[in-house]
Amino acid sequence: MAGRRRASKHGVVVLCLLLASLVACGGRPTATGTAEADVQHVLDRRAAAVLDRDKAAMAETGTASWFDNVSAVPLASWSYKVTAVHRTGATATADAELRYQVRGYDQAPATVARTLDLSLDAADQWYVVGEKPAGKASQLLWDQGKVAVVRGRHSIVLGVGQSGERLHSFADLADHAVPAVSDAWGTRWSRHVVVLVPKSLEGMAGLLGSPASWYRGIAAVTTGETGAPAQAPADRIIVNPDAYGLLGTVGRQVVLTHETTHVATRADTTAATPLWLSEGYADWVGYRDTGRTPAEAAPELGEAVSAGRMPAALPTDADFGFDGSTSGLAVSYESGWMACRMIADRWGEAKLGEFYRAVGTHKKRPGAVEEAMAQVLDTDLKTFTTDWQEYLRSQLG
């Protein structure tokens, strides 16, 4: 019996050594394994509190500083997935993915990376002491303050630091934009938009996770995945309230219609679609019913053409970088718009939409535009470029 006990004891020692990375000899999980499971449990409770609008339950999991900020947002889902826990004694930092859906607008959860700071309370339970965007991840609107919600016929507008009157004005613009885009593009898209209106330019930059200087002269930006399937989170139209305030009535409508066009065309916009086409088409829809002439809508390009600085080619994607010169960016947008306007004038509006979709059917950029031009417009890129330059002279020279 003694021999057996010694062998059994020896076997236990060996087994403990083999499993040392997973469990301690007493059967207790390691700190990392326990922490991840415990933190996930806390975040599950936290998510349920958000969906139930239960502030007391939220407070039991930790800080609730932003709980009221999101209370007006209609949420269909909210969940966390812990991806890593970095523990130091009684404190820890957790990396997690937050997945949430805006009810009636998101067909699938939007996913954002979050960092949570935690500590152990007196009952040896994890307690959230802070939650913020992870690393270079973008902020969520409720990170910036209490969100107000305004609903339109075809839109939902979420704002921070804005009056109800101003948020209603964005809903009105969006509600006009949606039918206008459907009239040009067709109705096979969601036909509703989500508009985010932060308090300032800095707030816009925070939502985009980029420097504010990139967007100083940009009135709005649309975020979303190119070639997105039907089951995807809704695009967000993010407004720069500082730049928007400088626009006139027509300009404001053109911008919202432009951004709404990006929402409508998202599924047909792929890696093969050049920016001159996607931005040019959005501008074409934006200006379509305004009566604005090329001279009025393309002043920077008109000045260049009149001065003999005719563009040698259609703009490249790099020409649309927000970190370049304002005038150069304007020329790129106006060049793309004039190219799409020429197609609509010479081949018809239906052909313009057909051309856009044909380009997007390709998986890669090389050859996409050329093939679509040959198939839909019965021309080639060299001839198209020459025709476009002549069109610029006739319209802007």
pLDDT band at 12, cuts 50/70/90?
A: very low
- Domains recognised in the chain with CATH numbers: 27-137 (3.10.450.50), 140-265 (3.30.2010.30), 270-397 (no CATH)
Residue 47 three-state SS = helix
Residue pair 279/254 in contact (Cβ under 8 Å)? The answer is no
Q: Please, are residues 170 and 195 in contact by the beta-carbon 8 Å criterion? A: yes
| pLDDT tops 50 at residue 25 | no
pTM of the complete model: 0.87
Give the mean pLDDT of 230-246.
89
Chain mean pLDDT for the chain: 89
Looking at residue 323, its pLDDT comes to 63
Task: Please return the burial class of 212, using the count of CB atoms within 10 Å of its CB with bins 0-12, 13-18 and 19+.
Answer: middle
Closest-CA residue to 119 (of 95, 98, 88): 88
pLDDT band of residue 232 (cuts 50, 70, 90) is confident
User: What is the structure's pLDDT at 262?
Assistant: 97
Find the farthest-apart pair of alpha carbons in the chain and give their distance in angstroms, rounded: 105
Mean pLDDT to the nearest integer, 55-71: 93
Ordered DSSP codes for 247-290: S-HHHHHHHHHHHHHHHHHGGG--TTS-HHHHHHHHHHHHHTTT
pLDDT at 363: 87
Cα–Cα dist 179/153, whole Å: 11
Please give the average per-residue pLDDT across 90-106, as a whole number: 96
Res 126: pLDDT: 94
Checking if the pLDDT of 331 tops 60, the result is yes
Answer whether residue 122 shows pLDDT above 90: no
Average of pLDDT values for 24-35?
Answer: 47
Residue 13 or 70, more confident: 70
User: Does residue 292 surpass a pLDDT of 90?
Assistant: yes
Cα separations in angstroms, 193 against 87, 171, 234, 279 = 41, 9, 7, 18
CB 359 within 8 A of CB 306: no
- Give me the pLDDT at residue 32, please: 52
**Does residue 325 carry a pLDDT above 80?**
no
Average pLDDT on 312-336 reads 87
Listed in sequence order, the residues at least 6 apart from 346 whose beta carbon sits closer than 8 Å to its beta carbon are: 387
> Over pLDDT 70: what percentage of the chain?
89
Residue 113 in this model has a pLDDT that exceeds 80: yes
What would the pLDDT profile of 142-161 be if each residue is shown by its tens digit?
Answer: 999 999 999 999 999 999 99
Structure-token pair, residue 141 = 């609107």
Angle between helices 164-185 and 275-287 (to 10 degrees): 110
